[in-house]
A and B are shown apart, each in its own frame.
Chain A
Amino acid sequence: GAGVSQSPRYKVAKRGQDVALRCDPISGHVSLFWYQQALGQGPEFLTYFQNEAQLDKSGLPSDRFFAERPEGSVSTLKIQRTQQEDSAVYLCASSPTRRGLQNTGELFFGEGSRLTVL
């Protein structure tokens, strides 16, 4: 596809269940980000991958959150033992460049996966 694709678009989980959210970035994009967006708020950084390397996971709220990108393309965000406070939209974004002092530029966001924990 032409853009960042995320699945599922909607997920309802019972408290305590594990969930997995998938992100297909734009082909060839080096950088991949996960953000969490609570209702009525701006996106908040969770984690960053450069190719298959997870270079920053400082935004993950707890050890129940785990992300991987084993082959440097598709990424999965896994949340174990979901809690009600995990309810949010999870946004994936990709960028063709490595991120750093001289490389900023546009992040291409997917439409997000809306997680509701009952």
Chain B
Amino acid sequence: GENVEQHPSTLSVQEGDSAVIKCTYSDSASNYFPWYKQELGKGPQLIIDIRSNVGEKKDQRIAVTLNKTAKHFSLHITETQPEDSAVYFCAEGLRQLTFGSGTQLTVLP
């Protein structure tokens, strides 16, 4: 992997609303795109991942979409809850991961 850009850097939503975080990448050979959640003082934890042969993947309230032509992928969280508040990182890579700069998500009760 080379460069991964992530937006926005901060995001505040009301509880119950949806949150969307977007990432773009530069390496056209990339084919694995995970999303990690990092809580304060903890290590990142995988929440969902997608491979390049799939355009969308869902797991309960979380979904990821991938557009290989445009080289971007997005994380969608529906029905947000206060415990979703954390820093979220997109990443890409096969062996070592290249991470985005993170999005601080705050879910307001």
Q: List residues of A whose CB falls within 8 A of some B CB.
A: 4, 33, 40-45, 48, 56, 59, 91, 93, 99-101, 104-107, 109-112
A23 to chain B, nearest CB (A): 11
A residues less than 8 Å from B95 (CB atoms): 48, 56, 99-100
Interface class of chain B by DSSP: strand
A residues less than 8 Å from B42 (CB atoms): 111
Q: A93-B43, A106-B46 are contacts. A43–B99 as well, Cβ < 8 Å?
A: yes
B92 to chain A, nearest CB (A): 10
Establish whether residues B101 and A91, one from each chain, have CB atoms under 8 Å apart when the complex forms.
Answer: no
Establish whether residues A45 and B102, one from each chain, have CB atoms under 8 Å apart when the complex forms.
Answer: no
A residues less than 8 Å from B57 (CB atoms): none
Q: Which of B1-50 contact A (CB under 8 A)?
A: 4, 6, 32, 34, 36, 41-46, 49
- Determine the residue in chain B with the shortest Cβ distance to A101: B94
Interface class of chain A by DSSP: loop
B4 to chain A, nearest CB (A): 8
Chain B 47-91, CB within 8 Å of chain A: the 1/0 string?
001010000000000000000000000000000000000000101
Establish whether residues A107 and B46, one from each chain, have CB atoms under 8 Å apart when the complex forms.
Answer: yes
B84 to chain A, nearest CB (A): 19
